[in-house]
Amino acid sequence: MSLTVAARIARRELRGGLRGFRVFLACLALGVAAIAAVGSVRQSIETGLQQEGATLLGGDAEIQLTYRFASDEERTWIDDNASAVSEIVDFRSMAVVTRDGETERGLTQVKGVDAAYPLLGEVRLDPAMPLAQALNGTQDLPGAAMDPVLVARLGIAVGDRFRLGTQDFVLTAALIREPDDAGGGFGLGPRTLVRTEALQSSGLLAPGTLFASAYRMTVAAGTDMARLETQATGALGGSGLRWRDSRNGAPGVGEFVDRLGAFLVLVGLAGLVVGGVGVAAAVRSYLSEKTGVIATLKTLGATTHTIFLAYALQIAALTGIGIVLGLVLGALAPLALAPVIEARLPLPAVFGIHPAPLAEAALYGVLAAALFTLWPLARTEQVRAAALFRGAATSRLLLPRWPYLLALALLLAALVGAAAWLSGLARLTLWSAAGMTAAFVILIVVAAGLRRLSRRLARSRAVRGRSALRMALGSVGGPGSEAGSVVLSLGLGLTVLAAIGQIDANLRGAIARDLPKVAPSYFVVDIQTDQLDPLLTGLRADQQVSRVETAPMLRGVISRINGRPAAEVAGEHWVLQGDRGITYSAAPPNGTQVTAGQWWDEDYSGPPQVSFAAEEAAEMGLQLGDRITINVLGRDIEAAITSLRNVDFSTAGIGFILSMNPAALAGAPHSHIATIYAQPEAEARLLSQIGNAYPNITMIRVRDAIARIGEVLRGIAAATTYGALATLVTGFIVLIGAAAAGERARTYEAAVLKTLGATRRAILLNFALRSAIFGLAAGVVAIAAGGLAGWGVMTFVMETEFSFEPVSALAVVTGGALTTLAAGLGFAWRPLSARPARVLRARE
Amino acid sequence: MPDTVVSLQDTRLSLSGNAGMVDILKGIDLQVTRGETLGLVGPSGSGKSSLLMLVGGLDRATGGQVRVLGHDLTSMGEDALARLRRQHMGVVFQSFHLIPTMTALENVATPLELAGRRDAFDRAEAELEAIGLADRARHYPAQLSGGEQQRVALARAAAPRPDILLADEPTGNLDGDTGEAIMELLFGLRDRHGSTLILVTHAPDLAARCDRVVRLVDGRLSDAAVQDAAE
């Protein structure tokens, strides 16, 4: 019965239109739209990766081997189970150009292919030509296609020669697009594409050099890929092969997109929370205007329950409109921007309306709207019929009754729970939720403190005679102050931005500023055993080289732990993803800190032993005495963990997770790596000298690698900043809402002040001062809370040092103050221009 | 020879509304001399309050001339008018119009502060004490009764010792006894400071306390009703 009556009252109340709800609708729609748009783009990419999985992989399935080509037995199995096979070899090397006696070198990721490549998709070249023609080259030399970036860096053109190892090639085309590019993951050097057979005499595929081979297969339509994988691992399982198939053609990329998307959804959720402040303010303002109506309804016999229902139904209807608007916007924006997004993505994306992310955004919208409107709605209970005659409702912040508080707690838990579950980033979600809640509480406390302080200052003798400041402080501290909504909405938006600013600046600082101080100049790979001594002798005699470190290196895959498949024991720990570098050493290298167990004797030749990195062992649940099986070059080696040691990866020096006793790896062909610490001015000379003397050696300039990592980070930071900006835009809308809501009060105040003799300048100064006070308070809290969040993320997540970044912080405070000032002054025009008589008469 | 402080010549006021232009004042000629108390009476909608607003410079005449203390208000800018009010006028309204975000003391001190008085708060405190509201100085308007709010408004208007006091139905929202007390205060203040008082009222007994009463009917001064209370 009361529902029917409530629905009827709600319908009549809504006949007045949605004018007072523009901020409500904008906040909710924008928050939902941001989440829906991010989710839709993520889904579009994931669908693209799924649909184009085989093309991205370069075949229906792939068997990857480290350090070696397939054995005859393996090749036979592959040929028997595939309708077509293509063999690929991939490694890093140096492309060398000699011109007028000068030598130019560039790091490149070489891909050697056979005639069957590509099994799927098409290679695009410039000038356009068939790949076979490009790789055939000329009569004298094999051909090569090269990434335009490297072509430009080396300063060569089509028809010019360059060298890989000891083999010359002719550049026949620029490589515009490889169909299987995205599957390969992050590479430090631009691509060079050549025929594998042309590399035979390059010296780059000698035993022990670092290369990976891959066998791409196409199989008959309808083949059960899971079964084929089982068959492959059953038949060839002990050989350290890695299997991928079209079910997940680019696992690394897929995971990256998934993680980044989930993270951005969380940032979007922060925006929705900021919008929630605006939603709550709009509902509070609406209900306070309705005090008379509510009091009248109570006088006429309406129960508290009926009145609550009547207004809850109105809010529910408006929430529905806001969410639908947001979903339409969030679904259409990626479609409209599809050409722009596609052009920037190296990945296939299938843009369309994806229901799942829209449903997720709608769920967040409903939960956030319920969470932020329940408290103001509960206040309808506190309106007494007598309010009609007293003419004013209580403005005190009264706690609602316990059922409402319980419902609020449940809604909060549901929102955080949904975000944790749907994003798959439970820990980050919980920390973010805790951070947001803390920021929320801090801002409420600060707003209350600001009001109290302003009230006290307004009455102090210090501001007497400074009428604009005294009036501004009086307004900030007095009844009907906007401090709560403005400080909260702006503060939350700025806190998110400040936290991201601090994290971004610290990350960039750690990589671009701090790392080069401790990092070596060059990371050298593929040093053959017979090259090691002459190379070291030369380097140690060099005055400009301060330090050289070397280690033998093999690569292997941890396949089993204590006889069980490794993934069963340690899940998806990164150490188990792909192959890992392994070294050996008779004695612990200088500076080694053994934290548990004991290093083997120098002449130890018993069963294999391994020293494991302590931190990673703890993460994987490994202990001294555990046995791990490592597949090296197709051979399984089972070794007992006899010691744990600290490994510091933060200096970009040599660091191995696994170090074994020399006898365990005896006879395995391998190469050595080295790190060279030299003065910056010697770097070019060293590259030239070593490159000339040892053409097979690859030298990775650490500065270039850092720059490349910096580029990738910049991309991620840009995406995050866009997400944070959406939060700030929402915050700005909330601010505008607050400013617009206060316009009537300010117009009246200005009219009275004019009557008392205030000039427009004095009134404007008064308004500007209070905006600046709000902005400054919000900015200061944002810096503190953002700094705290940045410290937490850098210390506990990134496990690196945090240093407060003042430039980013200053930008946030200035931005905050200017934003509130702009919003405040934007709404000062009407109060300043209105004739006092008309404003005052309207109030008579 | 009496010193004229307010002089209206063929003053007109038209306002645009939903139904087009409405003529509120249709050519008013009126002089008020220094120290005089003038009662403005007339039926609702006759233009009494509008006339008071024009004299206070709170609205702008659309025709004719409005001179106050020798200043032509029709040619002055918003801020010049504000400065004139700050130095020479006090206004009291039917709905009090206290600033809700300020305490009683701050409300009274505001015009003094705007006038650059260093002792604004001391004087405001003295004014409040004079009207018996010293103990309510730290209260916000919402915490005061209607009568108390109007007393604060009176103190605010009188605090700068204005040459001219404009009062627009100051007892309109108050009960009889409270209204009576307010009027005592208003005339007391006027007597104490020697201000010129222009009082808009519906109450004949209040009008009768004025030196002179003029009646407005339909935007014009009614000749028949103009009287000199002194006669």
SS3 A246: helix
| Residue spans of alpha helices (H) in chain B | 48-55, 78-88, 104-114, 120-130, 146-158, 176-193, 204-207
> Å from A20 to nearest chain B CA?
23
Closest residue in B to A844 (Cα–Cα): B95
The widest CA-to-CA distance across chain A, in whole angstroms, is 103
Distance, CA of A345 to CA of A445 (rounded, Å)? 44
Beta strand A580-584 with A658-660 is: parallel
Distance (Å) of CA A746 to CA A467, A490, A627, A828, A829: 16, 20, 76, 8, 10
CB contact under 8 A, A762 and B114: yes
CB contact under 8 A, B86 and A837: no
CB contact under 8 A, B83 and A836: no
The DSSP line for A753-804 is HHHTT--HHHHHHHHHHHHHHHHHHHHHHHHHHHHHHHHHIIIIIS-S----
CB contact under 8 A, A754 and B59: no
Distance, CA of A188 to CA of A104 (rounded, Å)? 18
Residue type, A174: A
Residues of A in contact with B84 (CB under 8 A): 757
Sign of CA dihedral A375, A376, A378, A384: positive
Residue type, A166: T
Distance, CA of A776 to CA of A356 (rounded, Å)? 41
The DSSP line for A791-839 is HHIIIIIS-S-----HHHHHHHHHHHHHHHHHHHHHTTHHHHHS-HHHH
Residue A518 touches chain B, beta carbons under 8 Å: no
For residue B13, what pLDDT is reported? 93
For residue A359, what pLDDT is reported? 95
For residue B5, what pLDDT is reported? 93
Closest residue in B to A760 (Cα–Cα): B79
**Which pair of structure tokens corresponds to residue A583?**
């070294």
Domain ranges within chain B, ordered by starting residue? 4-228
Distance, CA of B225 to CA of A30 (rounded, Å)? 64
The widest CA-to-CA distance across chain B, in whole angstroms, is 50
Q: With a CB-CB cutoff of 8 Å, which residues 427-466 of chain A face chain B? A: 458-459, 461, 464-465
Q: Residue B74: is its pLDDT beyond 50?
A: yes
CB contact under 8 A, A479 and B100: yes
Q: Residue B214: is its pLDDT beyond 90?
A: yes
CB contact under 8 A, A841 and B49: yes
Q: Do residues B46 and B216 make contact, with C-beta atoms less than 8 angstroms apart?
A: yes
Q: Which residues of chain A have pLDDT under 70?
A: 1-2, 16, 18-19, 182-188, 208, 237-240, 248-253, 344-347, 384-398, 511-517, 649-653, 712-713, 716, 723, 797-799, 844
Domain ranges within chain A, ordered by starting residue? 1-55+255-424, 61-218, 427-519+704-844, 545-678
Torsion, Cα of A698, A702, A704, A710 (10° steps): 140
| Residue spans of alpha helices (H) in A401-528 | 402-423, 426-459, 467-477, 483-508, 515-518
Which helix (H) or strand (E) covers residue A254, if one does?
helix A251-289
Which helix (H) or strand (E) covers residue B217, if one does?
strand B212-217
pLDDT digits 0-9 by tens, A201-256: 887 887 767 788 889 998 888 888 888 888 888 887 666 677 888 776 666 667 77
Start-to-end Cα distance in chain B: 19
Q: What number of residues does chain A have?
A: 844
CB contact under 8 A, B58 and A474: no
pLDDT confidence of B25, banded at 50, 70, 90?
very high
ipTM above 0.90, yes or no: no
Q: What number of residues does chain B have?
A: 231
pLDDT digits 0-9 by tens, A142-159: 999 999 888 888 889 999
Distance, CA of A700 to CA of A675 (rounded, Å)? 10
Closest residue in B to A469 (Cα–Cα): B113
> Å from B99 to nearest chain A CA?
6
Closest residue in B to A840 (Cα–Cα): B97
> Å from B216 to nearest chain A CA?
18
SS3 B11: strand
The DSSP line for A113-133 is E-TT--SSS--EEES---HHH
Which helix (H) or strand (E) covers residue A616, if one does?
helix A614-620
For residue A202, what pLDDT is reported? 81
| Residue spans of alpha helices (H) in A509-551 | 515-518, 529-541
Distance, CA of A718 to CA of A737 (rounded, Å)? 28
Closest residue in A to B146 (Cα–Cα): A390
CB contact under 8 A, A758 and B120: no
Distance (Å) of CA A619 to CA A615, A616, A704, B140: 6, 5, 31, 62
Closest by alpha carbon to A759, among A413, A550, A767?
A: A767
Q: Which numeric CATH code is attached to B4-228?
A: 3.40.50.300
CA angle, A142 then A143 then A147, to 5°: 145
Residues of B in contact with A468 (CB under 8 A): none
For residue A393, what pLDDT is reported? 41
Which helix (H) or strand (E) covers residue B161, if one does?
none
Residue B60 touches chain A, beta carbons under 8 Å: yes
Residue B156 touches chain A, beta carbons under 8 Å: yes
> Å from A501 to nearest chain B CA?
37
Looking at per-residue confidence, does A246 or B119 come out higher? B119
For residue B1, what pLDDT is reported? 40
Centre a 10 Å sphere on the Cβ of residue A327 and count the other Cβ atoms it contains.
24
pLDDT digits 0-9 by tens, B152-167: 999 999 898 999 999 9
Burial class (CB in 10 A: 0-12, 13-18, 19+), B149: buried
Residue type, B102: M
CB contact under 8 A, B120 and A464: yes
Residue B224 touches chain A, beta carbons under 8 Å: no
Distance, CA of A222 to CA of A60 (rounded, Å)? 11
Closest residue in A to B108 (Cα–Cα): A756
Beta strand A212-218 with A522-527 is: unpaired
Q: Residue B230: is its pLDDT beyond 50?
A: no
For residue A425, what pLDDT is reported? 78
**Pick among B60, B68, B101, B140 to test the A interface (most A CBs inside 10 A):** B101
